[in-house]
């Protein structure tokens, strides 16, 4: 190996850096920039231009209205949808001042069936999913989410349904338990490929972030992090899209009245490692008060009983 003087190496490296910067800055640099970007990102991973988002109802009337809205053919006779939906647009504009009247939103989504269900009218969906939203007393957020989520899921050419799980009464809100209820109730309807647990106040900003399962659980809101202790403990890997793709807009809100943090939460979290296998889905106990097929979602109201207490500590020795 010839020995290079460090100064020569440094000069060569600086020259290369200067050339690269010049190329990127030049007029023909667009192609070079795209080439470099392509080296580091995959097609569905961007780059995305969030400064020019498009209307969230783009590509829907052309693709779907011509089918006569609700009169759908039996999917069995249709050929499978393309692997990548041709209807996708990427970044969409989130209108937090958009329509909040459910009948207006319903009119904008004539191809959504009772219960908030949908199947692509012209091809057989490759994936099915249920979106489960734990909810109480956030009607404004719910309307804004439905306004954006329905067109996005339709452009993804999914077979899907939206379930709102309402906690009855005014006990402390228990999101995790409502998610378990939602899983059970959605699976009673259909063997969904995938169930997505969705906060009511997180609006997706990119329709290429697909509501399709990878192997195991998937955390869609990559740019909006929280943790899933139980999932990690079960030895599963949570997949998540890149922060370029998994962008969500969070609706700002005040703390809900009457939703004091569970005073047992630290004890409960500390015990998760010990008890996660023993409690949860297998000990789920609730009373279903109603199940209604509304135009934009299936509403399930449940009495989940009194607030959870941490199980008594077992005495050692
Ligand atoms: N939620 C609700 N009503 C409540 C509290 C929570 O519907 O009174 C649901 C709703 O889906 C919300 C999610 O639980 O998006 C998470 O609660 P919150 O928004 O209060 O949590 P944070 O904003 O702190 O993430
Ligand atoms: Mn919130």
Compute, in angstroms, the gap from residue 174 CA to the centroid of ligand 2.
Answer: 14
Compute, in angstroms, the gap from residue 269 CA to the centroid of ligand 2.
Answer: 20
Q: Which two tokens stand for residue 196?
A: 């997505």
Across 205-286, the runs of DSSP E, i.e. the strands, are: 248-250
Pocket test for ligand 1, best of 141, 149, 173 (most atoms within 8 A of CB): 173
8 A C-beta contact, residue 60 and residue 148? no
Q: Which atom of ligand 1 is nearest to the CA of 256?
A: 8
Phi, psi (deg, nearest 5) at residue 4: -95, 140
If you take atom 24 of ligand 1, which residue's CA is the nearest one?
255
pTM of the model: 0.78
3-state secondary structure of 119: coil
Which of the 8 DSSP states describes residue 121? S
Query: Over 134-149, what HEC string results?
Result: EECCCHHHHHHHHHHH
Q: Which atom of ligand 1 is nearest to the CA of 133?
A: 11
Per-residue pLDDT of the chain (317 residues; tens, 9 = 90+): 456 676 666 666 665 655 444 444 544 455 555 455 545 545 467 789 999 999 999 999 754 554 444 445 677 788 999 999 999 999 999 999 988 999 999 999 999 999 999 999 999 999 999 999 999 999 999 999 999 999 999 999 999 999 999 999 999 999 999 999 999 999 999 999 999 999 999 999 999 999 998 766 667 776 543 433 344 445 556 788 888 899 999 999 988 877 777 677 777 667 766 666 666 777 889 999 999 999 999 999 999 998 766 555 554 43
Residue 201: count of CB within 10 angstroms of its CB = 18
Neighbours of ion ligand 2 (CB under 5 A): 201
Q: Name the one residue in this structure whose structure tokens are 């719910």.
A: 142
Compute, in angstroms, the gap from residue 310 CA to the centroid of ligand 1.
Answer: 21
8 A C-beta contact, residue 128 and residue 193? yes
Q: Name the one residue in this structure whose structure tokens are 């807009």.
A: 249
Q: Which residues contact 300 (CB under 8 A, 6 or more apart)?
A: 163, 164, 165, 166, 181, 182, 185, 288, 290, 291
Q: Which ligand is nearest to the CA of 198?
A: 1
Q: Which ligand is nearest to the CA of 165?
A: 1
Compute, in angstroms, the gap from residue 8 CA to the centroid of ligand 1.
Answer: 60
Residue 61: count of CB within 10 angstroms of its CB = 12
Quick one: pLDDT at residue 276? 63
The domain 48-303 having CATH identifier 3.90.550.10: the answer here is yes
Q: Which atom of ligand 1 is nearest to the CA of 253?
A: 23
Write down the domain spans for the chain: 48-303
Compute, in angstroms, the gap from residue 200 CA to the centroid of ligand 1.
Answer: 7
Q: Let me know how long the chain is.
A: 317
């Amino acid at each position: 190996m010839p020995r290079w003087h460090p100064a020569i190496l440094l000069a060569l490296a600086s020259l290369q850096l200067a050339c690269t910067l010049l190329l990127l800055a030049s007029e023909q640099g667009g192609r070079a920039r795209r080439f470099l970007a392509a080296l580091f990102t995959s097609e569905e991973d961007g780059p995305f231009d969030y400064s020019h988002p498009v209307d969230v109802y783009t590509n829907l009337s052309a693709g779907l209205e011509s089918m006569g809205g609700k009169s759908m053919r039996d999917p069995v006779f249709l050929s499978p949808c393309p692997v990548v939906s041709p209807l996708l647009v990427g970044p969409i504009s989130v209108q937090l001042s958009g329509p909040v009247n459910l009948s207006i939103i319903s009119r904008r989504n004539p191809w959504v069936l009772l219960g908030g269900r949908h199947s692509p009218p012209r091809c057989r969906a490759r994936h099915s999913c249920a979106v489960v939203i734990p909810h109480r007393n956030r009607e404004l957020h719910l309307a804004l989410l439905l306004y954006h989520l329905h067109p996005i899921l339709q452009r993804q050419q999914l077979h899907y349904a939206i379930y709102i799980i309402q906690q009855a009464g005014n006990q402390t809100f228990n999101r995790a338990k409502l998610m378990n209820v939602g899983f059970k109730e959605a699976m009673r309807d259909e063997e969904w490929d995938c169930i997505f647990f969705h906060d009511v106040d997180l609006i997706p900003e990119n329709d290429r972030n697909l509501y399709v399962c990878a192997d195991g659980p998937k955390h869609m809101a990559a740019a909006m992090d929280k943790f899933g202790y139980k999932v990690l403990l079960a030895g599963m890997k949570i997949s998540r899209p890149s922060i370029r793709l998994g962008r969500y807009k969070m609706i700002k809100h005040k703390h809900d009245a009457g939703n004091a943090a569970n005073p047992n939460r630290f004890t409960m979290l500390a015990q998760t490692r010990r008890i996660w296998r023993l409690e949860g889905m297998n000990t789920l106990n609730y009373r279903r008060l109603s199940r209604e097929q509304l135009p934009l979602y299936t509403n399930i109201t449940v009495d989940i009983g009194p607030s959870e207490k941490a199980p008594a500590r077992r005495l050692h020795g």
